[in-house]
Structure 1
Amino acid sequence: MTADLARLLSDAQLWLAQAFIVFLRVGGAMALMPAFGEQIVPARVRLVAAFAFTLVTLSGTDPVTLGAATRTAVSPTLLSEMGVGLAIGAMLRLFVLALQTAGMMIAQSISLAQMFGVAGESQPAVSTLLTLGGLALAAHLGLHIKIAALLIASYDAIPPRSLPSAEVLRLWGLGGVAQTFSLAFSIAMPFVLGGLLYNVALGAINRAMPQMMVTFIGAPALTFGGLVLLTVAVPTGLLVWSGALDRFLSAPFEVHR
């Protein structure tokens, strides 16, 4: 009986040590993760989500790989695992920044830049609308399942106690930032073109009729047309964004030069 209890205690200690190592990586990723790591989500909910993803990731990870990490010093493992988690979360956070950037561009184009969204945030209401819409779409399409698969696959690409090379991080960062602005402009392009046509037409009308106060007539028309275009174009833009997110999640650790 004593031997069985001792063996059970040893197994429990090993399992807790492995769970702690997994939680370091998952917790770092969850700090920046889209949907689950948003500031509007209560801290207790985020902590419970981190625990849930830890259990899922632990069940899908090779115990031998984690067991080797438990036999090393805690400090290097702690730093490396948190660093890997933050890197994964930062790459996914760039997709949220793409929606926010697109919302700012759209708000500037339709004269709604001074209309702010959720209290405490300095971004326009259009950015809040795009961000919440994109996150809701991603969650509806199984974001939690894709994130769990991503975390499990990260242990094959980046084993415990190891960090991506500086060159890989550089390529990840440059590719992610380039894709962020590319996605943002793709979503906001109809509004940018519409704003350009509006300003050209307004200039032509003002040149033909200098006495007419075209700004007072054109500004409401620009905002109304922008809202109509927002209704028509945003669903397609969110589908483009969701497709880019799915492509990244399908091969997250492939670095393209």
Structure 2
Amino acid sequence: MTPDLIAALSALLEQAQAWLAGGGLVFARVGPVFALAPVLGERAIPVRIRLVAALAMTAVVAPAVVGAVPVPQPAPIPVALFLMQETLVGLMLGLALRFLIMALQMAGTMAAQATSFSQAFGGAGVDPQPAIAHLLVVGGLALAAIAGLPERLAALLVLSYDLFPPGHWPTPSALATWGTTRVAHAFALAFSLAAPFVIGAGLYNLALGAINRAMPQLMVFFVGAPALTLGGLALLVLTAPLMFTLWAPALSAVLANPVAAP
């Protein structure tokens, strides 16, 4: 081997080591996102498939951000601190998306409780949940996949290196404010989605009480239970498209800027 070839191979090896180190640091942020993100992070998907998807996303994101990722000093403590910071940022991004799925689960649970479907047809997924909640979650995941979630998730990961520069820890106060805001938004969104069912259940109970006062001998529960079931199903058919119409912009807002106030 000629000296020129040896020098070229040495330079190529150094560049490959730098790329591998940068790719590993990018994976430290991508991995937690894929553990919590909708569609790609569902527990129904095998762990190996999720790992391969996370590695593929790392290969997509790394060329765009590897120049902005500083390689820490080759010592255990600096490397561990850097990996912890990247993992924390990845968990924040993943939780921002996972809270939206939790909002669908909470909305479905509230709707099922209001329409006496909380125990009927439940447990249809990995997580035990009412049938309405399972239906809303599956619909939300399908809507996210149709809307191009993988491509938008890659854009979010690239944007995150501007929002959270590598090597800089988020301040505890800002992190606490962000977390409480996201949790509050998830509960508010869930109640907004389930509001028609809660209002309908309230009107149903008022009507049932009035009928019971007017006709004490009538067993209103046996008369009203079929009406409640039919009304709940009809209300679900009518309001499900509107619920996803409200939920989809919330998902788009998080994908556009996960740190902005909802």
TM-score, normalisation: structure 2? 0.93
State how far apart, in whole Å, the 1-side matches of 2:227 and 2:159 are. Answer: 51
State how far apart, in whole Å, the 1-side matches of 2:81 and 2:217 are. Answer: 73
In structure 2, the residue matched to 1:196 is 202
State how far apart, in whole Å, the 2-side matches of 1:57 and 1:71 are. Answer: 23
Which SS does the other structure have where 2:217 is aligned? coil
1:247 matched to 2:249? The reply is no
In structure 2, the residue matched to 1:75 is 80
1:238 matched to 2:244? The reply is yes
State how far apart, in whole Å, the 1-side matches of 2:7 and 2:71 are. Answer: 26
In structure 1, the residue matched to 2:182 is 176
Matched residue type, 1:166: P
Matched residue type, 1:134: G
Counterpart pick for 1:140 among 135, 138, 146 = 146
RMSD: 1.4
How far does residue 255 in structure 1 lie from its aligned partner after superposition? 4.9
Tell me which stretches of 4 or more aligned residues in structure 1 moved more than 4 Å: none
Alpha-carbon deviations, 1:79-116, whole Å to 9, x = none? 11111111111111111110000000000011000121
Q: Is the 8 A contact 1:56 1:148 kept in 2?
A: yes
In structure 2, the residue matched to 1:110 is 115
In structure 2, the residue matched to 1:58 is 62
Q: Is the 8 A contact 1:97 1:180 kept in 2?
A: yes
Which structure 1 segments of 5+ residues have no match? none
Alpha-carbon deviations, 1:7-38, whole Å to 9, x = none? 11111111110000000000011111111111
Q: Is the 8 A contact 1:171 1:255 kept in 2?
A: no
Matched residue type, 1:17: A
Alpha-carbon deviations, 1:39-70, whole Å to 9, x = none? 1111111111111211111122151x22x234
TM-score, normalisation: structure 1? 0.94
Matched residue type, 2:221: T
In structure 1, the residue matched to 2:39 is 35
State how far apart, in whole Å, the 2-side matches of 1:32 and 1:163 are. Answer: 21
- Count of matched residue pairs: 254
In structure 1, the residue matched to 2:99 is 94
State how far apart, in whole Å, the 2-side matches of 1:12 and 1:103 are. Answer: 49
In structure 2, the residue matched to 1:153 is 159
